[in-house]
Structure 1
Amino acid sequence: MEPIPSLQIIKYFLYDYFHIKRGQRKKYSKDLQDKITKELLTIHPTVSPKQSFQETTYTVFDLETTGFFPRLGDEIVSIGAIKINVNEMRFPEHFYEVISPIGEVPNAIYSLTGLAKEQVEKGISFQEAFLKFLQFSKGTILVAHPASFDVHFLQVMAKQWGFPNFKPLFIDAYFLANFLQPKVNNKLDGLITYFKIDQKERHHALNDAQMTAEIFMKLLVMLEEKGVHTFEDYIKIRGKKKGKLVFDD
């Protein structure tokens, strides 16, 4: 967990909070809000505890953001995702959107992500991107590396835009990697090297989602080899390690 900068806290409560609220009012679309609300009522896949990993479709996704702290005004600038199952990675079932945030994007983020200022300025709103992502991932289980960042960030932003009930089913690929091979560097770059994944340009949301998907497929094979075949099996190991179920809020 990154330490919270005290200056960012002060700046947020003195300026950013009000700036973001004004920006949300300007970008707000009631039509999109209504469509998102309807989608949120039907996003959850039907998953039985006895369901095997092979029977499941996953949406592996990645976010690029302006910082680490969505509760202090950091926002999403791009989101990439790919649908997979055990048997195949399905193309062209991929998703990528650049989002125009309300706040300013630090120059360091442009350098890190390779996004141009013009791209971000022409990006779609969070509402529109969130709706498209919900439609793309509908009926699947989300996967992120780590989900503690990406899923949480998406939940906080959804709540800030008036959607407090975004509670998707998800699996944390970082948790899986740490469970399966605790002595390995299980950060994304470490696993790309460890599994000899064809490395694409990093910090591009779709590239990172694709590499995470390739890693996740290998982790599922390792789970099978350890006798973890179903979500019921996975819930047991999740509970032993952290006292929580796989489908955390």
Structure 2
Amino acid sequence: MDYIILDIEFNGRKFASEHPMEVIEIGAVRLDASLQFKDEFSALIKPIYFSTLNSFIKKKTGIPQEDIDVADRFPKVITAFRAWLDQSPDGVLLLTWGGEDMKRIIQDIRMHKMDDAYWMEATYFDLLKGVLRARGLSNDISVEGAMALFGLEPSGSAHRALDDAKMTAEIFRAVFPELDFERSQHYVDTFSNARERKTVKIAIKAMTSQKIVPTWELVAEHYFPGEDALADPRKAAELQAYFAAQLGKK
């Protein structure tokens, strides 16, 4: 089995919009079972929405607008990426830094009305969580922070997909003996975001400190005001389950 260290970049926006953010770059490194480099994949993608990169994304990634203008669309790139993944005859384990990369890829596959079966069935390992568990850390760290943690020298350009994948591969090699691959997983649709889940944790902490017994009804009423905050019943159910899980830890 080969290890595929995957990273993406996506276009952002400075204002609220009904249009989704899209993947604009995919970078990946293939390591063999001995963690030796085999090959790499890199491609830019021209998005449907927000195809003109805003100043923040251009500064963050360094991706030239003219390169985006001539890039292929997502369906062609993801098809080429799948073909590249299939060059591993004994299968692959995808490694990501956090869960956002898988979410964005699947979102774009669905937006383009492509079959998402491969990606829903793909096994991946969240290396960020693996590092946090291995080192007993409670707060997320960046790839650059993890490089410093393991005494590794950063290389390339941060926030370019292939360079980030290469640095993540170095972290993977460094922490490999400490990783629990039993925690490999498959993508599961989520309807809440990290900010909303953090709000639940803040609510429990605040009510506990005020000697108020935390209940989901109080959290929903006081920390998610407004008619639309929990309008999606899937989001409401997910956050309520998250509340119960966090309360159980207390």
Q: Same fold (TM over 0.5)?
A: yes
Q: 1:71 to 1:127 in 2, by over 3 A?
A: farther
Two-structure CA RMSD over aligned residues (Å): 2.3
Percent identity (aligned): 21
In the alignment, residue 113 of structure 1 is paired with which amino acid? T
In the alignment, residue 207 of structure 1 is paired with which amino acid? D
State the partner residue of 1:140: 92
Q: 1:71 to 1:159 in 2, by over 3 A?
A: farther
In the alignment, residue 79 of structure 1 is paired with which amino acid? I
What is the TM-score of this pair, normalised by structure 2? 0.64
State the partner residue of 1:159: 110
Cα shift readout 1:136-178 (whole Å, capped 9, x = no counterpart): 12221111101x1001111111111112323121111011011
Unaligned runs of 5+ in 1: 1-55, 229-233, 239-244
In the alignment, residue 94 of structure 2 is paired with which amino acid? L
What is the TM-score of this pair, normalised by structure 1? 0.64
Q: How many residues align?
A: 175
Distance 2:161 2:96 in 1: 11
What is the CA distance between 1:205 and its match in structure 2?
A: 0.6
Cα shift readout 1:183-221 (whole Å, capped 9, x = no counterpart): 376331210111122212101110000101111122212
Q: Does 1:83 align with 2:83?
A: no
In the alignment, residue 40 of structure 2 is paired with which amino acid? H
| Contact kept? 1:143, 1:170, Cα under 8 Å | yes
- More RCO (CA 8 Å, sep 6+): 1
State the partner residue of 2:40: 94
Cα shift readout 1:76-104 (whole Å, capped 9, x = no counterpart): 1111000013424324x100001111122
SS in 1 for 2:60: helix
Distance 1:219 1:70 in 2: 40
SS in 1 for 2:75: helix
In the alignment, residue 211 of structure 1 is paired with which amino acid? M
The structure having more radius of gyration, on CA atoms, is 2
